Amino acid sequence: MKLRQPIWPRFIPTPTVLAFARLGPLGRLPAPGTWGSAAGLLFFTVVFYPLGPAETLLLCAVTGYFAIAICGEAEFRLGRRDPGEIILDEFVAMPLCFLGWPYLASLVPPWTVFLAGFALFRLFDILKPFGISRLQDLPSGWGVVIDDTAAALAACMVMHAARFGWLWHKAH
């Protein structure tokens, strides 16, 4: 199966593509990936917080497809591979850190889950362990978005593993 860049963004004016890819002015701030992640955390709290896992996955699939299309087109128009100013990928991946939110927040205050998810996501997005770095080699917007998706899922797994470990430790 060959992954192809969606063609529909070709018809969107360049300033609009770049505004979406950069999340407006956030992509031009220092440490843009951190700002995109912070915006993604806000996105989770406003939109995803009340959703269950199925709805979260569906909405993440839709926003992920949009990000793949826009980020790939922004790469093309900027003439650079995954430039730091493109932060829509962090924004749409961040909610995946909190899959199973009610379980994660059942033992600790919600702000600690937010902080842990944010920190783990940034760590995995920067270091790209567990083969995440190889995902960047996927073509166009796919490589831009899928590595962040994997970083978010890794952060989610670490938080659930920590919760399980804490419960197991308390039981024994």
62-90 pLDDT, tens digit per residue, is 999 999 999 999 999 999 999 999 999 99
**Both tokens of residue 135?**
């995902």
19-46 pLDDT, tens digit per residue, is 999 999 999 999 999 999 999 999 999 9
Task: Report the helix count and the strand count for the chain, using DSSP H and E.
Answer: 8, 0
Average pLDDT over residues 83-112: 94
Q: Positive or negative, the Cα torsion across 59, 64, 66, 67?
A: positive
| Mean pLDDT over the full length of the chain | 95
Say whether 49 sits in a helix, a strand or coil: coil
**Both tokens of residue 113?**
């889950």
**Both tokens of residue 109?**
């205050």
Say whether 94 sits in a helix, a strand or coil: helix
Q: What is the pLDDT of residue 134?
A: 95
